[in-house]
Every structure is written in structure tokens, then in C-alpha cells.
Amino acid sequence: MEKTRKKTTSLMVLILIAASVGIFIILPMYQTNSTSDNGSPLTNEEKLEQTLKAMEGVGKVKVYFYYGEMTDDQNANKLFSQYFRGTEQGTKNVTGMLVVSEGASDIFVKNEIRAVVSQVMQLPIHRIIIVPMENKEEK
């Protein structure tokens, strides 16, 4: 019975990751000239925040990028990371991230966010920090 439970849990995690990756593939197709409420173009962090909010269980989210050294060359095959980083040459590479999410207190949601962000941003998992958002209503 314990073996069946582990298989079911593993299968559910894989399905959640696959669904999340599907969101990242489909969502950019429906976003044209994303702008914020005041009409200015969205920052890369805001684009990623909007996408993560669409994932089940994530809730409110805030994303902070850590930028490394300037680079002159971008890998043309990094489609998803270029969507969030921009495609111009000479842009700074994102070398680390902090994600603050309401749903991060749930270990499954936290792991899903980490896996999806790692794949989309092409960052190693150890470069992504995910913490729960403080719930001010509970205090």
C-alpha cells in the first residue's frame, strides 16, 4: 500500500510539472505587448510573476532577479529564458532568483515552482530561492 501511495504521489508531481511547463509554452502566445496598468511595458520580473500566478496553488508572487556580469553573446536556442530576459545583446544574465509566494509554504508547490523556474530560466536549482510570503492577515 505504501508503494502504491509513493507511485501516486510521484505521478501527481510529474503531472503538475508537465502542466506547468505547458502553461509557459502556451501563455506567451496569448500575450501581445504586455503592459502594466499604467500603460508602461512590463518588466521581466512582472512577466514571470504573471505567469507564476497562473499556476495552481502559487497565489500572490513576487520575483527578484539577481544579475551577473554583462555578456556580449546570447544563446539563440534559449527561447524561454530570452522571453523573460530580453533578446538584445549586451543584456545582463540572470544568475540567481528569489521567489516569494503565498503558496510556497506547501512543499509540493514550492518544488513545482523551483522545477519550472529552473527549466524556464535555465538556472540551476541551487540558484533559485523560494520562500513563503508573509500573511499579514494572520497576525
Q: List domains and CATH numbers for the chain.
A: 44-132 (3.30.300.30)
The three cell numbers of residue 113 are: 515552482
The pairing of strands 61-70 and 92-101 is antiparallel
As a whole number of angstroms, the distance between CA 51 and CA 29 comes to 12
pLDDT at 76: 47
Local structure of residue 133 (DSSP, 8 states): P
DSSP 7-30: HHHHHHHHHHHHHHHHHHHHHHHH
Q: What's the grid cell of residue 12?
A: 501527481
**Edge-first strand listing for the sheet containing 92-101:** 61-70, 92-101, 128-132
SS3 81: helix
pTM over 0.75: no
Q: What's the pLDDT at 34?
A: 56
Phi then psi for 114, rounded to 5 degrees? -60, -45
* Tens-level pLDDT at each residue, the chain (139 residues): 667 777 777 777 777 787 776 666 666 555 555 555 666 777 788 888 888 999 889 999 999 988 876 454 445 445 555 555 554 444 678 889 999 999 999 999 999 999 889 988 889 999 999 999 887 665 5
Strands 92-101 and 128-132: parallel
H/E segment holding residue 65: strand 61-70
Distance of alpha carbon 117 from alpha carbon 104, whole angstroms: 13
